């Protein structure tokens, strides 16, 4: 096993570090201090061929304020806050509207994704890891409170990559962090993810309005949103039902049936090469985004990213929960400790 600070590079004149974590089974992950991001995730297939299973930019500078959030940590809030507004303890807050001037997306202009995080690596007999940390000042992007956060990535020999999210604040605020990796289990993006199978242990999803804001909790039964039994992602992706709810594919929150870290809430599998990704989480929901709006991203190896060539599995509190009674509001108060976990387990079947 090893945890290695591989190199420093530069993004927008800032010095950023790249860290490699490797286990004893040929699984490795490259992380970056800018955005506390996953840059690359290498794992073997059924025949032992080691390939990258996330989208990676060819050039590191492309991560600068990257609007696709490749592998990055999103925050303070992940997803969209409707009209960039919320009320907390009787006060109105107006966030930066970094999406079309209508919504706050993934925490705004200077969100967690675009910070160069501090970090410390660690290693023991069974695991290697890196703890990233950063601070967001009071009223940054319009959010109240000075917030200190940590995201720790730990890789072990059971082929699990654990993400632990921690945070504290000095005033009541919102906090809802996720990782925005784009998975493609075929390896080096050989095939679209429409040919991969998805299982979501969630009987309900959140319907969206034209600004992609959640407006209604609905049952998945008899809709294209039903992944309660494993289904090819491509099976219903072009259905008219889906087209009426979001452009070009899936981009919705599912409410998970339980918050059990010992039971996979989501399973992505590629029957062809045998790679399987099991996701366990303490978060109540997952936003599934099927890379519906590629922006000519130049990927490692010289390929241009194409629609549906990846899937994001963004475990989090329901986005915009603060504005929707009955959902998790994502409020963090002084004295409370934010503590959520997501485990990506890499299997071969």
For ligand FUC, the binding residues in 270-329 under the rule CB under 6 A are: 287, 289, 293, 312, 314
Nearest alpha carbon to residue 73 among 20, 23, 115, 15: 115
Residues in a beta bridge with 135: 148
Rounded Cα distance, 145 and 169, in Å = 6
**C-alpha atoms less than 13 angstroms from C-alpha of 289 in its C-beta half-sphere:** 19
As a whole number of angstroms, the distance between CA 131 and CA 280 comes to 20
Report the nearest approach of ligand FUC to the CB of residue 18 (Å). 22
Nearest approach, Cβ of 178 to ligand FUC (angstroms)? Answer: 8
User: Which residue sits closest to ligand FUC, CB atoms considered?
Assistant: 289
> How long a stretch of residues is the chain?
349
d(CA 217, CA 256): 12
- Please say which residue, 186 or 290, places its beta carbon nearer to ligand FUC: 290
The interface with ligand FUC within residues 15-44 (CB under 6 A) comprises none
CA distances, 58 to each of 18, 28, 39, 296, 308 (Å): 14, 18, 10, 12, 19
CB of 146 to ligand FUC, least distance (A): 26
Among 33, 52, 68, 104, binds ligand FUC (CB under 6 A): 68
Query: Helix, strand, or coil here: 242?
Result: helix
Over the window 220 to 249, marking each residue x when it contacts ligand FUC by CB under 6 A and - when it does not, the resulting string is ------------------------------
Q: How many residues bind ligand FUC (CB under 6 A)?
A: 9
* CA–CA separation, 67 and 286 (whole Å): 20
Of the candidate residues 34, 57, 63, 69, the single one contacting ligand FUC (CB under 6 A): 69
Q: Which of 180, 245, 252, 308 is catalytic?
A: 180
What one-character-per-residue DSSP string does 185-241 give? TTSTT-S-GGGSEEEE--SEEEEE-TTS-EEEEEE-TTSTT--SS-EETTSSTT-HH
Of the pair 141, 314, the CB lying nearest ligand FUC is at 314
Q: How far apart are CA 177 and CA 166, in angstroms?
A: 9
Q: Which of 40, 140, 197, 314 is catalytic?
A: 314
Q: Which is nearer to ligand FUC, 3 or 287 (CB)?
A: 287
Nearer to ligand FUC, 251 or 297 (CB): 251
Structure token pair of residue 252: 């919705």
Is residue 245 annotated as part of the catalytic site, yes or no?
A: no
**Rule CB under 6 A: which of 195-214 touch ligand FUC?**
212
Structure-block tokens of residue 59: 């050039």
253 and 286 in contact (C-beta within 8 Å)?
yes
The Cα 157–Cα 126 span in angstroms is 6
Q: How far is the CB of 249 from ligand FUC (least distance, A)?
A: 10
Nearer CB in complex with ligand FUC: 139/304: 304
Is position 150 annotated as part of the catalytic site?
A: no
Least Cβ distance, residue 104 to ligand FUC (angstroms): 12
Out of 40, 197, 251, 329, the residue judged to bind ligand FUC by CB under 6 A: 251
Minimum CB separation of residue 28 from ligand FUC in Å reads 25
Residues in contact with ligand FUC by the rule CB under 6 A: 68-69, 212, 251, 287, 289, 293, 312, 314
Active site residues: 180, 314
């Amino acid at each position: 096993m090893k945890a290695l600070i591989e190199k420093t590079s530069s993004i927008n004149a800032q010095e950023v570090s790249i860290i490699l974590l490797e286990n004893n089974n040929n699984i490795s992950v490259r992380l970056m201090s800018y955005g506390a991001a996953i840059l690359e995730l290498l794992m073997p297939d059924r025949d032992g061929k080691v390939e990258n299973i996330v989208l990676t930019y060819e050039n590191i500078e492309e991560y600068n304020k990257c609007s696709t959030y490749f592998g990055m940590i999103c925050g303070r809030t992940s997803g969209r806050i409707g009209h960039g507004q919320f009320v907390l303890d009787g006060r109105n807050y107006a966030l930066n509207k970094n999406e079309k001037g209508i919504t706050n997306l993934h925490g705004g202009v200077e969100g967690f994704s675009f910070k160069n995080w501090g970090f410390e690596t660690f290693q023991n007999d069974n695991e290697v890891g890196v703890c990233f940390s950063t601070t967001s000042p009071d009223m940054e992007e319009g959010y109240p409170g000075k917030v200190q956060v940590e995201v720790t990535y730990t890789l072990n020999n059971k082929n699990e990559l654990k993400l632990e999210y921690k945070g504290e604040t000095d005033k009541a605020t919102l906090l809802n962090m996720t990782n925005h990796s784009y998975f493609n289990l075929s390896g080096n993006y050989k095939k679209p993810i429409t040919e991969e199978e998805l299982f979501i242990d969630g009987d309900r999803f959140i319907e969206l309005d034209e600004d992609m804001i959640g407006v209604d909790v609905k049952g998945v039964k008899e809709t294209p949103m039903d992944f309660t039994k494993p289904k090819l992602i491509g099976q219903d992706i072009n259905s008219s039902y889906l087209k009426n709810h979001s452009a070009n594919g899936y981009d919705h929150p599912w409410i998970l049936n339980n918050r059990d870290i010992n039971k996979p809430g989501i399973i992505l599998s590629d029957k062809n090469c045998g790679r399987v990704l099991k996701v366990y989480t303490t978060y109540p929901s997952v936003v599934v985004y099927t890379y519906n709006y590629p922006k000519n991203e130049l990927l490692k190896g010289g390929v241009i990213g194409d629609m549906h060539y990846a899937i994001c599995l963004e475990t989090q509190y329901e986005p915009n929960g603060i504005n929707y009674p009955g959902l998790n509001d994502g409020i963090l108060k002084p004295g409370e400790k934010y503590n959520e976990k997501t485990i990506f387990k890499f299997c071969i079947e």
